[in-house]
């Protein structure tokens, strides 16, 4: 990937959310954060000032903006020296990023957005958070938290009972 010639505007990658909102990040950030962008940018040749547009028209603006936020932050962190301090700061940032106000719906949308552009770092972070939410919970509790329907067949239920019969309850 050739660097932008000096003096010209930096190339950007634009994510378009539901409602036509645009969120941009520098191409360099996209390359670091998103596998899809890496693969696409290998094939795309820019003419003039075109930016690469990624349509996420099913996803609300907030998760898309959070995605861009995350990518920018991760890219910046990657350039700074690794240290225990830096790792600690990153953990604290991640906790603020997915604060208490982030509910399962937002997590899901965030995950959708991350999956769309294969942003592995954010996928991993959201999975960690969801795992934390369902750790140690019963199946019904998990269904309530995430709004999942129980569609197990009677056969599957029997299998589960048998498979788990060695556990002392």
Partner 1 sequence: MPSSSSSSRRRGRNKAPSLAPELAEVASDEVDLPLDSPSAVHHNLYPAQRPAVQNPSPPGAQAHRAMLASSSSSSSSGRRRGRRGRKGPAPATVVAPAAVEARDWAELPMDILTALLHKLDHIEILMGAGQVCRSWRSAARDVAVRRSAGQCEAFWGEYAADEDLLHFLGDRAPSLKSLCLISCYHVLEGFAEAIKKFPLLEELELSLCPNISGNHVFEVVGIACPQLRRFRLSNQCFFSFEESEDNYSFEGSEDVYNKDEEAQGIATMHELRSLQLFANNITNAGLTTILDNCPHLESPDIRHCFNVNMEATLLAKCSHIKALRLPYDSTDDYDFQVQAPVWSGYDLGIQSDSDECFYGGPDYILDSDEYDDYCDPHRYLDGVYLGRPFRRSR
Range 139-158, binding partner 1 (CB under 8 A)? 139, 141-143, 146-153, 156
Least distance CB 19 / partner 1 (angstroms) = 4
8 binds partner 1 (CB under 8 A): no
Instruction: Calculate ∠ Cα 23-103-118, nearest 5°.
Output: 45
- The single residue among 19, 42, 48, 84 that binds partner 1, judged by CB under 8 A, is 19
89 to 108: interface string for partner 1, x by CB under 8 A:
-------xx-x-xxxxxx-x
Distance (Å, whole) CA 21 – CA 158: 49
Q: Which residues pair with 24 in a beta bridge?
A: 14
Bridging pattern class, strands 22-26 and 52-55: unpaired
| CB-CB contact of 146 with 153 (8 Å) | no
- The single residue among 40, 50, 79, 84 that binds partner 1, judged by CB under 8 A, is 79
13 binds partner 1 (CB under 8 A): no
Rounded to the nearest angstrom, the gap between the alpha carbon of residue 134 and the centroid of all alpha carbons in its chain is 19
40 binds partner 1 (CB under 8 A): no
41 binds partner 1 (CB under 8 A): no
3-state secondary structure of 168: coil
Nearer to partner 1, 44 or 78 (CB): 78
| CB-CB contact of 29 with 72 (8 Å) | yes
Nearer to partner 1, 43 or 57 (CB): 57
């Amino acid at each position: 990937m050739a660097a932008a010639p000096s003096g010209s505007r930096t190339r950007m990658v634009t994510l378009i959310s539901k409602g036509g909102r645009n969120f941009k990040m520098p191409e360099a950030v996209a390359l670091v954060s998103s596998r899809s962008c890496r693969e696409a940018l290998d094939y795309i040749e820019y003419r003039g000032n075109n930016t690469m547009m990624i349509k996420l028209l099913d996803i609300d603006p907030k998760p898309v903006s959070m995605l861009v936020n995350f990518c920018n932050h991760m890219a910046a962190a990657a350039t700074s020296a690794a240290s225990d301090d830096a790792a600690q700061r990153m953990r604290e940032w991640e906790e603020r990023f997915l604060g208490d106000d982030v509910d399962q719906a937002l997590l899901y949308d965030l995950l959708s957005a991350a999956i769309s552009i294969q942003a592995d770092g954010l996928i991993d972070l959201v999975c960690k958070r969801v795992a934390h939410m369902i750790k140690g919970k019963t199946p019904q509790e998990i269904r309530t938290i995430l709004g999942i329907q129980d569609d197990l067949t009677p056969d599957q239920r029997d299998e589960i009972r048998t498979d788990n019969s060695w556990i002392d309850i």
